[in-house]
Structure 1
Amino acid sequence: MSRVAKFGIGQVVRHRVYPFRGVVFDVDPVFCNTEEWWEAIPEDIRPNKDQPYYHLYAENAESEYVAYVSEQNLLADDTGEPLRHPQIEEAFIEAADGRFMARHHAVN
């Protein structure tokens, strides 16, 4: 089954259950992490593999990190609250409307 990703690169999202949010920097059309990673998720909340998965520059109240999250567990975050993850500034330019646009680095 082919699915179109609901969220795009540079979009701010938040987790449906856990208290973190972040910026999408890559999308896998289906699960592309290790079997060990997937099996570490408690079975009663383990998401389906056949859906888009998102790589996020994520943060919670305590720290910044990279997260890998299924589409079913993400919601758009339209709060406009600033994000502090240091890699966001390296990868994106923030537009006046709060959206993030990918920086394009010249390759020599």
Structure 2
Amino acid sequence: MKSSGSARFGLGETVRHRDAAFRGVVIDVDPVFAGRIGQTGKISPDQPFYQVLALGEDGGFIAYAAEDALEHDPEFTILSSNDRQRWFNVDADGRHSPKAQALH
């Protein structure tokens, strides 16, 4: 079992689900699973979990995913440049933050 430590991904980083379920931007981090018991299935709840604003051609949704299920996505191309400017501030490192929330 993985011990809870520092999170691999920070707010505003672009990630993709390892099973290609979605791609998106990290908008919140929990040091360990913060859902209901029984929701994790075979994934250990003793690791960081992320709220990801998952985006696609049909809009977006909030996904809640374990760190083990995510990987960095430096080629995140789902966002058009118009959407990026409309919804996010992007810093020099390429991290995204919703316009209504500053990066920590």
TM range (shorter): 0.7 to 0.9
Query: Partner of 2:26 in structure 1?
Result: 24
Q: Which of 44, 49, 54 is equivalent to 2:50? A: 54
Rounded to whole Å, the distance in 1 between the matches of 2:79 and 2:94 is 10
Query: Partner of 1:70 in structure 2?
Result: 66
* Number of positions where the alignment pairs a residue of Structure 1 with one of Structure 2: 96
Rounded to whole Å, the distance in 2 between the matches of 1:102 and 1:63 is 15
Preserved CA contact (<8 Å) 1:19 1:60: no
Alignment of 1:90-101 (within 5 A): 92-95=88-91, 98-101=94-97
Cα displacement (A) at 1:2: 3.7
**How does the TM-score come out when normalised to structure 1?**
0.71
Provide closer, same or farther for how the CA distance between residues 20 and 61 of structure 1 changes in structure 2, counting only shifts above 3 A. farther
Question: Structure 1 vs Structure 2: percent identity of aligned residues?
Answer: 38
* Counterpart residue type for residue 10 of structure 1: G
Question: Mind listing any 5+ residue stretches in structure 1 that lack a counterpart?
Answer: none
Query: Could you say which structure has the larger radius of gyration?
Result: 1
Provide closer, same or farther for how the CA distance between residues 81 and 97 of structure 1 changes in structure 2, counting only shifts above 3 A. farther
Instruction: Decide which structure has greater helix share.
Output: 1
Rounded to whole Å, the distance in 2 between the matches of 1:98 and 1:22 is 13
Provide closer, same or farther for how the CA distance between residues 49 and 62 of structure 1 changes in structure 2, counting only shifts above 3 A. same
SS of the residue corresponding to residue 68 of structure 2 reads helix
Cα displacement (A) at 1:64: 1.2
**How does the TM-score come out when normalised to structure 2?**
0.74
CA RMSD of aligned residues (A): 2.8
Question: Mind listing any 5+ residue stretches in structure 2 that lack a counterpart?
Answer: none
Cα displacement (A) at 1:63: 4.3
Rounded to whole Å, the distance in 1 between the matches of 2:50 and 2:59 is 19
1:11 aligns with 2:7: no
